[in-house]
């Protein structure tokens, strides 16, 4: 009997014993991947016991109704994203699953320490390469790899950045391997998105399973907007006691515009476009009905290339002319700092463990995924000979674009991609195809496993803070490993438990107390 068959039989027996419909969950076959809810053999992991008992008391129709209610609430709130190039309407509701992903406190403690360590080192790396460049002179990272990266901004050299916090908002993508350990898949330091969906998912899951949420001891994420605002204000606290913070958006046609407006509203700060800003004598002002008002901190959701047509792309209408000169003069702070993208370059990613060791004298708490640099001839030959085994990514691409998933690609797709790699090997890296962990999702009335990753959000200003929650992204297509919303992925809430010791004892006392489920 295979392990998958064993899991299905055990779960079916459990559900039948509970008097629920076995058809909903009997098809749950995790396969080779680590499953977040069920251990090999079918036993429920302790931190999922409370949720599993609650699911068993609900019929298939009730779960479907709750899923529809959740999706309807997202529609009414306008929680959407945009898919560029889609044949139909580009504005879509992000698919959201009602079953939360649960992470015990002991596991989260490791994640929190690892992400704090990683962002500390990456900020030190950015301060160095835009300063004395010691790490390049010592040969830890190839000089041409950093200085030749498209995201390296020579305009940032020798500029003062408060607290040396270049990346004020970071969203690192984590995956769990078949061994159960977490690995960092990539870092997002430029204009990371997704935090609004984390907050919206929390609100939805708290209403979907209110009693279970209360009993489980879930750590709150609702303070994120306040923490973000405090982080942004700390960046100019050295010269302004009550700085004016604004959010700079490319506008309503941007894929993440909902998030820009959502965060601005929750922080209580203005949401501006480039045309709302005026730069005079290297001071930045925003237009208001009462005249011009000084701006001190700009949380920009505009890419580097477009923030200032005088310093970067001349054809940009998304930023403000003279903004970068005001930044150079120290009269305004831009968060994240321009040029942070070089630290999340997919080729630089391969050296992050070395970066941590160089600046902190420590081994990385959260390991990298094994990465091959196609810029190296020997590694290029290996990748080309094994394209059917690797995921190949363009160094500067994001959102699931410019990527080949070798095992799922056709022979022609691999051949065409091989030609692209040969034409520009420096633009590609390759990683082994990792079986992302699976988590239960409601699919057509049945509970089925789907692959997931994890995007926690880390704030860095006068201190580093890791939000005790995350956006769990879901590959909704059966067997797919691509979780990006732009590629058909969805999301779900992430419950980080406050205390593992209390989890096993939560169920029966809560039932006997007659708590509302």
The alpha carbons of the chain give a radius of gyration, in whole angstroms, of 24
CB of 140 within 8 A of CB of 159? no
Burial of 51: CB neighbours in 10 Å, binned 0-12, 13-18, 19+: buried
- Is residue 423 a part of any domain in this protein? yes
Q: Do residues 503 and 50 make contact, with C-beta atoms less than 8 angstroms apart? A: yes
392-to-396, 430, 434 alpha-carbon distances in Å? 12, 4, 12
Q: Would you give the end-to-end CA distance of the chain in angstroms?
A: 36
Strands 297-300 and 333-335: parallel
User: At residue 302, what are phi and psi to the nearest 5 degrees?
Assistant: -115, 135
Enclosing domain of residue 408: 372-432
- Per-residue burial over 92-110, b if 16 or more Cβ lie within 10 Å, else e, is eebbbbbbbbbbbbebbee
Provide the pLDDT for residue 240: 78
- Does residue 326 form part of some domain? no
**Tally of CA atoms within 13 A in the half-sphere of 362 that contains its CB:** 13
Residue 311 covered by a domain: no
Residue 393 lies in a domain: yes
pLDDT along the chain (517 residues), means of 10: 42 39 54 92 93 89 89 76 52 82 97 98 98 98 94 95 97 94 94 92 92 95 97 88 95 90 96 97 96 97 96 93 96 97 94 98 97 95 94 76 84 93 94 91 88 97 96 88 74 91 41 39
- CA dist 21 → 10, 44, 85, 418 (Å): 14, 18, 41, 49
d(CA 69, CA 74): 9
Any idea what DSSP says for residue 175? E
Residues in the chain: 517
CATH code, domain carrying 416: 3.30.1490.270
378, part of any domain: yes
Q: What number of CA atoms fall less than 13 Å from residue 489's CA on the CB side?
A: 25
The count of structural domains within the chain is 1
399 in any annotated domain? yes
Domain assignment of residue 419, yes or no: yes
d(CA 68, CA 57): 18
User: Shortest CA distance to 98 belongs to which of 419, 334, 440?
Assistant: 440
CB contact at 8 A, 470 and 456? yes
Tokens 């990272």 found at: 141
Task: Tell which residue, 470, 483, 507, has the closest CA to residue 201.
Answer: 470
Judge whether 159 lies within some domain.
no
């Amino acid at each position: 009997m295979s392990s998958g068959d064993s899991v299905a039989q055990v779960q079916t027996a459990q559900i039948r014993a509970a008097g629920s419909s076995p058809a909903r969950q009997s098809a749950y076959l995790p396969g080779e991947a680590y499953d977040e809810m069920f251990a090999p053999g079918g036993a429920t992991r302790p931190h999922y016991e409370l949720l599993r008992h609650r699911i068993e008391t609900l019929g298939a129709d009730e779960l479907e109704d709750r899923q529809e209610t959740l999706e309807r609430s997202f529609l009414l709130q306008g929680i959407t994203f945009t898919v560029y190039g889609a044949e139909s309407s580009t504005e879509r509701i992000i698919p959201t699953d009602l079953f939360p992903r649960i992470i015990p406190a002991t596991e989260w403690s490791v994640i929190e320490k690892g992400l704090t360590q990683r962002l500390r080192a990456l900020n030190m790396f950015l301060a160095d390469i835009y300063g004395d460049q010691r790490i390049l002179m010592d040969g830890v990272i190839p000089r041409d790899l950093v200085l030749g990266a498209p995201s390296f901004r020579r305009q940032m050299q020798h500029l003062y950045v408060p607290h040396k916090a270049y990346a004020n908002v970071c969203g690192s993508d984590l995956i769990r391997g078949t061994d159960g350990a977490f690995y960092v898949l990539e870092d997002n330091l430029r204009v990371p998105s997704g935090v609004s969906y984390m907050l919206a998912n929390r609100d939805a899951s708290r209403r979907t399973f209110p009693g279970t949420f209360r009993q489980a001891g879930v750590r709150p994420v609702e303070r994120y907007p306040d923490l973000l605002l405090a982080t942004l204000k700390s960046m100019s606290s050295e010269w302004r006691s009550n700085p004016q913070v604004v959010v700079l958006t490319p506008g309503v046609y941007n894929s993440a515009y909902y998030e820009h407006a959502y965060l601005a509203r929750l922080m209580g700060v203005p949401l501006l476009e480039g045309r709302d800003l005026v730069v005079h004598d290297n001071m930045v002002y925003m237009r208001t009905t009462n005249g011009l008002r000084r701006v001190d901190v700009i949380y920009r959701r505009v890419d580097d290339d477009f923030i200032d047509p005088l310093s970067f792309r001349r054809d940009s209408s998304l930023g403000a002319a003279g903004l970068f000169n005001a930044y150079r003069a120290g009269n305004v702070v831009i968060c994240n700092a321009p040029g942070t993208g070089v630290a999340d370059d997919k080729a630089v990613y391969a050296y992050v463990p070395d970066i941590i060791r160089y600046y902190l004298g420590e081994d990385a708490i959260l390991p990298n995924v094994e990465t091959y640099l196609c810029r190296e001839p020997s590694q290029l030959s290996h990748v080309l000979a094994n394209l059917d085994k690797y995921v190949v990514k363009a160094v500067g691409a994001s959102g699931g674009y410019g990527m080949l998933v070798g095992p799922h690609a056709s022979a022609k797709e691999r051949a065409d991609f091989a030609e692209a790699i040969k034409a520009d090997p420096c633009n590609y890296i390759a990683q082994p195809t990792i079986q992302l962990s699976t988590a239960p999702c409601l699919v057509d009335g049945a509970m089925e496993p789907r692959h997931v990753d994890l995007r926690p959000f880390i704030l860095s200003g006068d201190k580093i803070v890791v939000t005790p929650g995350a956006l769990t992204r879901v590959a909704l297509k059966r067997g797919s490993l691509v979780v990006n919303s732009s590629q058909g992925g969805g999301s779900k809430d992430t419950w980080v438990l406050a205390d593992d010791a209390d989890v096993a004892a939560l169920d029966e006392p809560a039932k006997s107390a007659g708590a509302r489920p």
